[in-house]
Structure 1
Amino acid sequence: MRVLVPVLRLPHGWEAARGLETEEVLARRARHGPNDVQGRPPRSTLRSLREAASDPMLWFLVGTSALYFALGERVDGAVMLLALAPLLGMDVFLHHRTQASTEGLRGRLAAHATVLREGREAVVPAADVVPGDLARVEAGQQFPADGLVIEGQGLQAEESSLTGESLPVRKRPLTRLPPGAEPAVDAVHWGLAGTRLLTGTAWVRVVFTGPETLYGSIIRSAGQETRARTPLQHAVARLVAVLMGVATALCAVLALVRLRQGFGWLDALLSAATLGVAALPEEFPVALTFFLGAGVYRLARRQALVRQAVSVENIGRVSCVCSDKTGTLTEGLLRVARLLPSPGTSNRALLETAVLASREEGKDPLDVALLEAGAAWQPALSASPREATFPFTEDRQRETAVVRREDGTLLAAVKGAPERVLDLCALSPEARREWALRVDALACEGHKVIACASRTLDAAHWHGGEPDRGFGFAGLVACEDPVRAGVEAAVRECRDAGLRAVMVTGDHPRTALAVARRLGLGGEHPVVLTGEALEARLADTGRVPPVDVVARALPAQKYALVKALRKQGEVVAATGDGVNDVPALQAADVGIAMGERGTRSAREASSIVLLNDDFGTLVRAIAEGRQLFSNLQRCFLYLLLIHIPLVGTAALMPLWGQPLVYLPIHIVWLELIIHPTAMLAFQSAARPGQLTALRARPAARFFSWREWALLTAVGVLLACGLVWAWTRCLSQGADVERARAVAMATLTLASATFAAVLTRLRTRTARWVCALSLGFSVLLIQVPALGALVGLHPPTARDWGRVLAAVGAALALLLVAGPRARGGLLRRRAGQPTLAPEAS
């Protein structure tokens, strides 16, 4: 990465250790503003509520609640009002999430900075730093802004949370600028806001502050992203709107017809109110809210914390996963992976040499990895007293330590870049070529390779300088960032299920390719592109090329990748744990943050947080989301199969001049059966250990036209059977109360059998709900004392035969035609929801 430097921002003599004067500071602050990231202006809670109130589904629930209260059904009215709370809460949370994410981003910035002003050092608030300031950054401190490193030795910075680079990044002082008004300077000379210096002391000439820093550009990207309603929400809203229109029209027509038939105003109002209560589709939005809540609970049990309930639906539709590498697919820590000692040198001797050349007091991850490996091998490896240390520098590319052994002799141990260490050793040309080939082979496998050597010093003639010849080559030490346990199996499961997976990392392409091969990402020949190459392809064609790994990726490039994939119709899940992942997490359909290692800003920007940082948890979460969609489809199918005959007979029979088929108490009774069955019987969980393929199409809806035709046919057939049983009962001299009992028996038996077929009685809850609803209904219908309480007379055996015939005919059509309907309504397995072209 190369960054353009506006030369006019730098003071005269910028390369010298000279600070700014007070007048310069004030002028620059007035010109460039404070060193503070600028997010979107805070949104008031009142404004968020006003915008949430524009949702028509909320007003539908309010209207339904008012109607229930007007009819005296206070319990149902209260339930409708309670359903407002989660819907409003989700919208308000969505509005405030960007603001919370910005606050989390600000939390990683330095609070104070040490700058040189008026010829002396001063500690000032980081917000007071201006372009041109000369800042001193010690090991362990954060860079207060983006600036050029002009002085320092042995500098290493930790930039994984910003750039995705998993290993420490070497920094070199810049002595002179290339010519031009805005010369490009390589990233090795830059200290970046939001990153931390690991080793050395750096003097940084500030160039960019606040929103102009790389960190600030990330926050601007985060603030610009908005999230649309999900296809499932659109589908429910459209379905409710259609049913509401039909119900309203039927109620008005029924009231007018009953008046024309001479039944009077009371009968007309009672008919319309009964039909309205039966026809209002309040179960659909309530079911959506309930199922999303149940999905949140099940994902929490699987170590996935859902911060936005609609994400449970979105994750089930995911077709592409863009995953960060460092800390997500890998552990984000260096570990000693292989020891290649030279002939005649043992593994223990090689590791001892590496440990002796490492510093315990430093924060270099390489030293930490070597010391941990030495401690695991033998604790005594690092116990020798140190006489002198010659730290790593960019010029020397090695570190040397002189230690005193127990016998009083001195030993010089060196570790560093293989080519530098080999120069210190007396090796034949053939041996050097052989070791060089081994270094290349290890590097191609994604390892960080260092060489080690040692020699004995004559204590009487050593005067404290660093020895630079006469070393004996000890061998090579290969370190790696290990792949997380279980990730390889999770990637294989995604591949088998047809999920596209793309690894996005700031690492070198060779390192990223090695990790991809270890994971099996992209099969035997993963396709690797650099971030610049991907950006060029997107600018040229506007489409994402076939790619499995994007290396050397910048935050803007990861963000562009996610946006381009979504534009191509993919449902994208983006994972990550660092600040650099925030734009992609917010741009994705589902942003998934790592809970253990993730930064606060990443967690705030995400909609799901994996509490155990296990990539396999993501796979299980996708399976659970797909199961949710399947459950909801079956639930809605059940509701429609029952409501079509219920509403049809409640409207058509009075229009035909017949007595009311259902009284309000019967509607309440049916609702007490339908609600628990819909909410509880269809709550089956995803099967563990298997993520089945998603038969994806452009956008989600509940049913295809074939499925709509099937459920309409089944509902109409059941309604015809109910009318037939009703009229036969009345034609044989039965009273209306017995005919109503036949109608209630038909609907309650259909409710239990349809639910049993659709759920296959897989869960204990489904079995209990179906059995209890059918058993209590039979008792209420057949026991005269109980039936009298609800205005029913017990049916005869012949009546029950007609009920069984009516329900059996509808059930037979469902069983025969169901598997043949597109998507296979009765063949769907857990985790295999069908997605159809347009939402209905």
Structure 2
Amino acid sequence: MPTNNFNIKGLTNAEVIESREKFGKNTLDYKQENNFLDAIKSLAKEPMVILLFAASLIYLMSGKTGDAIFLASAIILVSLITLYQDNRSRNALQNLKKLSQPHCKVIRNGTEVEIKSEDLVVGDCLMVEEGTSITADGIIIHSNDFSVNESVLTGESQVIFKDKDKADHNIFKGTTVASGLAIARITHIGNTTKLGEIGKSLESIQEEKTPLELQINSFVKAMVIAGAIVFIIVWGINYFLSKDLLDSLLKALTLAMSILPEEIPMAFTSFMAIGAWRLMKLGVVVKQMKTVETLGSATVICTDKTGTITENKMSLAKLFTLDRHRIVAPNEAEGVEKELVEIAMWASEPIPFDAMEVSLHESYGDMEKVDERPDFQLIHEYPLGGKPPMMTHIFENKAGKRIIAAKGAPEALMATSNLTAAEKAEVQKAIETITSQGYRVLGVGEGVFEGNDFPKTQQEFKFNFKGIIAFYDPPKKNIQKVFEDFYKAGIAVKIITGDNAATTTAIAKQVGFKGLNSISGDALMQLTEKELKACVMDTNIFTRMFPEAKLKIIKALKSNKQIVAMTGDGVNDGPALKAAHIGIAMGNKGTEIAKQAASLILMDDDLSRMVDAIAMGRKIYANLKKAIQYIISIHIPIILTVFMPLALGWIYPNILSPAHIIFLELIMGPTCSIIFENEPLEKNTMSQKPRPFTTTFFKWKELNTSIVQGLVITLGTLVTYQYAVYMTYGEDLTRTMVFTVLITANIFLTLVNRSFYYSILTTLQYKNKLVLLIISITVSITGLLLFVPPLTQFFKFETLNFQQFSISVGIGFISVIWYELVKIKTRRNSKVIKNKV
């Protein structure tokens, strides 16, 4: 039975090609935005581009053609950098979308194969089972206890039962299978599906901005407003003093340009998109950008046991029957023990996909000389359900012989059978013996029922308790190291499983799991809210869990201010995955419902990828913070160096022009978005506690550091200014020295701010080739401006002698390098705290 796919052959390869040529691919094609044109439109609205264009126009009207051409060229250069970064981000996200496309199972050439959903064609025989998302419209040609949730189309969340003999025998794209299995012949794909016809509404759906994105946007908007206000004030002051409209406009524009931190949104988008792409390369698909923000804050990871901690390679390991009063291995099975395996097989899906059921089918094939599976047809099915859970299948052959087989939690089968107290005690003793060794146990029962008016629930049957079957699922080889990494990073780990306490505890001991105290789902549901909040913090193993209990655990942890990551693979995990801050679905064994509910998918079901993902999340967040702190620090001296001489009426009020500001901006953009994004993970990052997940990105401590750094650099530029005036240097020479201080400070600020803990001597050893490249380009271009006469004249510079150059570079260096003393103090304090601990 499991190999013939109910005698359905499906399409041949030639028929697939013919159908695809006639009907196309199974994709939804609506009005597509032109990414390039959209990027150009967005670019045209950028405040910096608008200011550059205005300044260029004013220069042109003033007859300063060279300056106008330079700023126009700067517009092109800024646009190219922005478009490059935008394209880089888009490509990263497109790759993620392609990788996260759903797959489906079809029967072709008489064989079951898995394909991408977009490769599905009209006429294909699509197999859908509990937990999968239906990928096209079709007509059911075979089903077993099949029901679907069509709320995505109807808005109604109730489950609808369907089969080929009912009037409603259609399945629709986008709906999900609630129970059972069906095979449907595909009738409509892509835009011709019911979902495709109403899918125009999808065009208007926009991705919601994340809290961090909103904070950054608010910060940038505030700076834009501040820039606009200062622009008006400075324009008014200059015009009042000079009565020169165009000149006063230029001076005001210079200050406005210096205020705008337009690099911040670019850095945010680049860091998040490229970070998601880097995670994809590690085998972690990020479905939502907000997950990247949250990863570094995870404080608790709730993990399933089967397939996550263990290999999910269930092998039938032990058998127990009351008739023989012994626990034996399958190869020692005789008589009633073989019958136990046979009944357990009939209680499984006809086409098995669960590892335990696959093992049962294989064991039945090995034990029985005559395979009766092709002779029997599944006529009724009770899906896995109840507390504790069980499932029942009813088969019948042409001669009218009926098999009613059930399997599930031993407690469930014992409760529906006529066992005596002594027999229950013997079964319980066998269970304790088997589970103490880490085996997973199932009870097996056989029922008898005449007629076809089957009970509403499987628990209404009276079963003959056949015995216990046990499976061994070995722990993954790397799981102990994974737990150690989580503990080292300050992350608590909790096991949430449907298995019993003894089996779970035995496996937990084998893998070095911390905290073996446990609680069952039923006991957990009896707790008061106060007791529950304390329980989820003190307990690490949760057994015999069901959807409501899992959801309750997640909510209780969240109410304790924990940032919760939750792994899952089944339909029942959906609510908990959705509720967790980080829902983690398994890429191989995970159902489509689990993948839809999750925000992150582990492609190879390897929990060690979560260690990598958390490290990446911490790195991205830390590097983004470094980039933004760098931007704030370097903007302060630019703003004040432009504003102070003007506001205080110094001898050279307009020391920097738009050309100088845009040159500095062109240096800062690549520095923050390329150098810092490419920075490696600092060696102490994964030994720190998770950062608090607060609504405030710009904490006062970080802002204070950036402001102080910026003010010290400003002090350096203004001291240099006053020194040049004191030495009676001209305006051009003064400008050159001030500009050299700013460039020097910018270079060393980049190096110093690579870490706010480790010294510059340590960070120079970090592997980031872009640091040397960007700094080399900056130094080379600056050298050309200072020492090539045509460029020097254009920028109104004057070539510095050795003393002047040394003073400027020295002041720029000192105005930044002082922070190394702060780092020394930070490291000493950290060591003192560790020694006390």
Q: TM-score, normalised by structure 2?
A: 0.63
Matched, 1:576 2:568: yes
Give the CA deviation at 1:288: 0.5
Give the secondary-structure state (helix, strand or coil) at the position aligned to 2:653. Answer: coil
Task: Determine the C-alpha separation between the residues in 2 that align with 1:123 and 1:814.
Answer: 67
Give the secondary-structure state (helix, strand or coil) at the position aligned to 2:178. Answer: coil
Matched, 1:612 2:604: yes
Counterparts of residues 310-709 of structure 1 (less than 5 Å): 310-337=290-317, 349-350=331-332, 358=341, 368-369=358-359, 382=367, 384=369, 437=429, 439-448=431-440, 478-521=470-513, 523-530=514-521, 533-534=524-525, 536-538=527-529, 545-546=536-537, 547-657=539-649, 658-682=652-676, 683-686=678-681, 691-697=686-692, 699=694, 701-702=696-697, 704-709=699-704
Task: Determine the C-alpha separation between the residues in 1 that align with 2:516 and 2:705.
Answer: 46
1:316–1:623 contact (8 Å) kept in structure 2 = yes
Give the CA deviation at 1:678: 0.9
1:619–1:691 contact (8 Å) kept in structure 2 = no
Task: Determine the C-alpha separation between the residues in 1 that align with 2:657 and 2:157.
Answer: 77
Give the CA deviation at 1:583: 2.5
Indicate the residue corresponding to 1:299 in structure 2: 279
2:297–2:692 contact (8 Å) kept in structure 1 = no
Give the CA deviation at 1:524: 4.2
Indicate the residue corresponding to 2:4 in structure 1: none
Give the CA deviation at 1:684: 1.9
> What is the one-letter code of the residue matched to 1:276?
A
Indicate the residue corresponding to 2:705 in structure 1: 710
Cα 1:648/1:822, change in 2 over 3 Å: farther
Deviation by residue 1:79-121 (Cα, 9 ceiling, x = unmatched): 6688889999999999xxxxx99x99653999778999xxxx9
Give the secondary-structure state (helix, strand or coil) at the position aligned to 1:310. Answer: helix
Which shows bigger deviation, 430-439 or 779-788? Answer: 430-439
Give the secondary-structure state (helix, strand or coil) at the position aligned to 1:501. Answer: strand
Matched, 1:809 2:814: yes
Task: Determine the C-alpha separation between the residues in 2 that align with 1:326 and 1:344.
Answer: 27
Give the secondary-structure state (helix, strand or coil) at the position aligned to 1:545. Answer: helix
Give the CA deviation at 1:280: 0.5
Counterparts of residues 172-321 of structure 1 (less than 5 Å): 194-196=178-180, 230-262=210-242, 264-321=244-301
Give the CA deviation at 1:330: 3.5
Task: Determine the C-alpha separation between the residues in 2 that align with 1:130 and 1:497.
Answer: 41
2:741–2:811 contact (8 Å) kept in structure 1 = yes
2:300–2:491 contact (8 Å) kept in structure 1 = yes
Cα 1:530/1:309, change in 2 over 3 Å: same
Indicate the residue corresponding to 2:25 in structure 1: none
Give the CA deviation at 1:253: 2.4
Deviation by residue 1:25-78 (Cα, 9 ceiling, x = unmatched): xxxxxxxxxxxxxxxxxxx999x99xxx9xxxx999644444444454244357
1:306–1:607 contact (8 Å) kept in structure 2 = yes
Indicate the residue corresponding to 1:462 in structure 2: none
Give the CA deviation at 1:416: 13
Give the secondary-structure state (helix, strand or coil) at the position aligned to 2:822. Answer: helix
> What is the one-letter code of the residue matched to 1:742?
M
Matched, 1:795 2:786: no
2:44–2:50 contact (8 Å) kept in structure 1 = no
Which shows bigger deviation, 75-84 or 287-296? Answer: 75-84
> What is the one-letter code of the residue matched to 1:481?
D
Give the secondary-structure state (helix, strand or coil) at the position aligned to 1:321. Answer: strand
2:740–2:809 contact (8 Å) kept in structure 1 = no
Unmatched 5+ stretches in structure 2: 1-28, 57-71, 97-101, 104-116, 118-130, 171-175, 183-205, 383-390, 394-406, 412-421, 445-466, 755-762, 833-837
Indicate the residue corresponding to 1:107 in structure 2: 134
Give the secondary-structure state (helix, strand or coil) at the position aligned to 1:659. Answer: coil
1:641–1:714 contact (8 Å) kept in structure 2 = yes
Give aligned pairs, total: 643
Task: Determine the C-alpha separation between the residues in 2 that align with 1:571 and 1:66.
Answer: 42
Cα 1:675/1:86, change in 2 over 3 Å: closer
Unmatched 5+ stretches in structure 1: 1-43, 95-99, 146-161, 163-192, 199-225, 376-380, 400-414, 420-429, 453-474, 828-840
Percent identity among equivalent residues? 23
Counterparts of residues 141-160 of structure 1 (less than 5 Å): none
Deviation by residue 1:151-184 (Cα, 9 ceiling, x = unmatched): xxxxxxxxxxx9xxxxxxxxxxxxxxxxxxxxxx
Indicate the residue corresponding to 2:716 in structure 1: 721
Deviation by residue 1:706-750 (Cα, 9 ceiling, x = unmatched): 443333222212112211212322343433222222122111111
Give the secondary-structure state (helix, strand or coil) at the position aligned to 1:614. Answer: coil
2:78–2:666 contact (8 Å) kept in structure 1 = no
Cα 1:580/1:266, change in 2 over 3 Å: same
Deviation by residue 1:619-671 (Cα, 9 ceiling, x = unmatched): 11011000111111111122122111111101112223333121222122111
Task: Determine the C-alpha separation between the residues in 2 that align with 1:123 and 1:710.
Answer: 62
Cα 1:705/1:825, change in 2 over 3 Å: farther
1:335–1:481 contact (8 Å) kept in structure 2 = yes
Give the CA deviation at 1:290: 0.8
Indicate the residue corresponding to 2:770 in structure 1: 765
Indicate the residue corresponding to 2:120 in structure 1: none
Indicate the residue corresponding to 2:78 in structure 1: 76
Cα 1:340/1:664, change in 2 over 3 Å: same
Task: Determine the C-alpha separation between the residues in 2 that align with 1:294 and 1:713.
Answer: 31
Cα 1:328/1:627, change in 2 over 3 Å: same
1:627–1:686 contact (8 Å) kept in structure 2 = yes
Task: Determine the C-alpha separation between the residues in 2 that align with 1:125 and 1:559.
Answer: 22
> What is the one-letter code of the residue matched to 1:578?
G
Matched, 1:735 2:768: no
> What is the one-letter code of the residue matched to 2:359?
A
1:304–1:617 contact (8 Å) kept in structure 2 = yes
1:707–1:822 contact (8 Å) kept in structure 2 = no
Indicate the residue corresponding to 2:122 in structure 1: none
Task: Determine the C-alpha separation between the residues in 2 that align with 1:596 and 1:122.
Answer: 25
2:515–2:540 contact (8 Å) kept in structure 1 = no
Cα 1:135/1:792, change in 2 over 3 Å: closer
Task: Determine the C-alpha separation between the residues in 2 that align with 1:664 and 1:826.
Answer: 47
Indicate the residue corresponding to 1:209 in structure 2: none
Deviation by residue 1:488-529 (Cα, 9 ceiling, x = unmatched): 3212321222212233333334444444444444x1423334
Task: Determine the C-alpha separation between the residues in 2 that align with 1:539 and 1:343.
Answer: 45
Give the CA deviation at 1:194: 2.0
